[in-house]
Amino acid sequence: MMFSADMIAIVAAATTMIAALMVALNLGPRVTGCGFCVFTLGSICWMAVAWMTAQPSLLWTNIVLLAINLLGIWRWLGLRARYDKGAAQANREPVR
């Protein structure tokens, strides 16, 4: 089944709006990190639309946004998760 640029654009717009809401609400590192995952899906969809409709500006914008979203995933789901794990472990250890 082939997807049209219009169908992919609808998915791209929806994922971008959902991700923006998730990040804006800042309901914790996990939700914010998942918001960046959804943003990544949106960027990939927008890149597909850009490729299919010959829009180089949209393509390059979303290539850069994809890199930023990957940084957000690493920051909120990778680095932040390690900080939270270390803090939880420190709270469990007795004070000497």
Select from 38, 33, 37, 47 the least CA-distant residue to 18.
38
pLDDT in tens, 58-68: 999 999 999 99
User: Does residue 40 contact residue 73 with C-beta atoms inside 8 Å?
Assistant: yes
State the DSSP string of the chain: -PPPHHHHHHHHHHHHHHHHHHHHHT--HHHHHHHHHHHHHHHHHHHHHHHHTT-HHHHHHHHHHHHHHHHHHIIIIIIHHHHHHHHHHHHHSPP-
Select from 43, 14, 10 the least CA-distant residue to 51.
43
Q: pTM for the full model? A: 0.81
- Per-residue pLDDT at 79: 77
pLDDT in tens, 38-65: 999 999 999 999 999 999 999 999 999 9
